[in-house]
Structure 1
Amino acid sequence: MSHPPISRYPVPDIAGLPDDIRARILEVQQKAGFVPNVFLGFAHRPDEARAFFAYHDALLLKEGGHLTKGEREMIIVATSGANNCLYCVVAHGAILRVCEKQPQLADQVATNYLKADITPRQKAMLGFALKVSNDAANIVEADFEALRAHGFDDEDIWDIGAITALFGLSNRMANLMSLRPNDEFYLMGRVPREKKA
């Protein structure tokens, strides 16, 4: 069976992309072993791709704070699930499984974080993220106090909100594009990686 296209918009040829975007895609391909379709989908508009990935990197690759890489991925998976974004649930679910070394975790977080095998601190974090995603106009000081009680400071709370907001954009653009998840993501973190000879 042939796959549908990865996006309803034209997907540029990597060789024809601006040097910086092509270099970024080739770097990701070298590290992951494949090119995640989000890079090709967003490359349809290079200036927007640069802006999106710059903000992505600022939030997800930053040093410091009290959020682990796995917790950042939990935020993405939980809010992407609430936004019905297939691409982000599948892609970031794979990253979450790899980070946390828990094959079942991403499915739990995407479907109902309250039933997931995570800590009360992480449940509070995801509850706040979902409020940012679905009801940001009603965030009040009590929401901040509840997170502070779990050891988050105001900068951590900014990070939770900013990751949620960026992926609100990502979820909507992925749905607009009908961005198809790479096949490779579905098994990542579910089955042991084959050892290279």
Structure 2
Amino acid sequence: MANNVLLKLLRVSTAAHLARLRPLRVKADHLRAAGCRRSCSSTEQISRYPVPYRKDLPYDIVELMEEVESKGGFLPNVFKVLSHRPAEFRAFFAYYNELMNKETGSLTKADRELIVVATSSYNKCLYCVVSHGALHRIYSKKPTLSDQVVVNYKVAELTPRERTMLDFAMAVCRCDTITEEHFRSLEEVGFDREDAWDIAAIAAFFAMSNRLAHLTDMRPNLEFFNMGRVPRDKSSNKAEEK
């Protein structure tokens, strides 16, 4: 159940969600009161920067956290760590949503997560490798591919399309000189120039995210490690429904 829920929670349209929340002043008082009873932090050290108490955060960020935690069963640590700077929190998740949850172009959700895994591995970002590896397992239904990519994508069991996509993502990640040959290679496996922009933008955005994770010493939630590795027992789910 947790896997299906996580698929939904990251599809939240953050920009629209935040805009909708601005007039909800009355509800903000309720959320702040609830926040007084707990902090965004836990006993585990997840950042070298202070993690704010929810009572001290803007009401729109608190509501987004409440929604994510309610739907997913836990709050990913990136929400807690980045809440240290609320304005940047909003900008980060608005751009994240535009890149990772858009419905246009040829990239699937599994493709997008695989780009994050490959480039984050190169950038040595534990948080993004673990969390986005979990998401790739869920979207792709392939429990080992992201692990292979973390070690060496060149010998992973990739399709020609996936390999070409990651070759281009890694060229952007390494700041290689981008040439027309890169675009021709992408076109040969079905990607157009707008898809190339998407691949490059994901690699670029997560280069920034990786470095923020390094700065803060951001730690992945334990829940991410096992996600998507073992197929759900559908028979037990049906029994529970009865």
What is the TM-score of this pair, normalised by structure 1? Answer: 0.94
Find the counterpart in structure 1 of residue 213 from structure 2.
Answer: 174
2:96 equivalent to 1:68: no
Number of matched residues? 195
2:136 equivalent to 1:96: yes
CA distance in 2, matches of 1:47, 1:55: 13
CA distance in 1, matches of 2:70, 2:174: 37
CA distance in 2, matches of 1:21, 1:193: 32
Q: Say which one has the larger Rg.
A: 2
CA distance in 1, matches of 2:98, 2:231: 31
Distance 1:191-1:15 versus aligned 2 partners, 3 A rule:
farther
One-letter amino acid of the structure 1 residue matched with residue 231 of structure 2: P
One-letter amino acid of the structure 2 residue matched with residue 76 of structure 1: V
Find the counterpart in structure 2 of residue 152 from structure 1.
Answer: 191
Identity %: 54
Aligned ranges for residues 34-183 of structure 1 at < 5 Å?
A: 34-136=74-176, 138-183=177-222
Find the counterpart in structure 1 of residue 54 from structure 2.
Answer: 14
CA distance in 1, matches of 2:80, 2:103: 27
One-letter amino acid of the structure 1 residue matched with residue 48 of structure 2: R
Structure 1 residue 183: Cα displacement: 0.3
Structure 1 residue 171: Cα displacement: 0.3
Find the counterpart in structure 2 of residue 192 from structure 1.
Answer: 231
What is the TM-score of this pair, normalised by structure 2? Answer: 0.77
CA distance in 2, matches of 1:65, 1:24: 27
Tell me the SS of whatever aligns to 1:28: helix
CA distance in 2, matches of 1:60, 1:73: 8
Tell me the SS of whatever aligns to 1:65: coil
One-letter amino acid of the structure 1 residue matched with residue 200 of structure 2: G
CA distance in 2, matches of 1:111, 1:118: 13
One-letter amino acid of the structure 2 residue matched with residue 192 of structure 1: P
CA distance in 1, matches of 2:47, 2:196: 33
CA distance in 2, matches of 1:61, 1:85: 22
Structure 1 residue 119: Cα displacement: 0.6
Tell me the SS of whatever aligns to 1:135: coil
Higher RCO structure, 1 or 2 (CA under 8 Å, sep 6+)? 1
Aligned ranges for residues 22-37 of structure 1 at < 5 Å?
A: 22-37=62-77
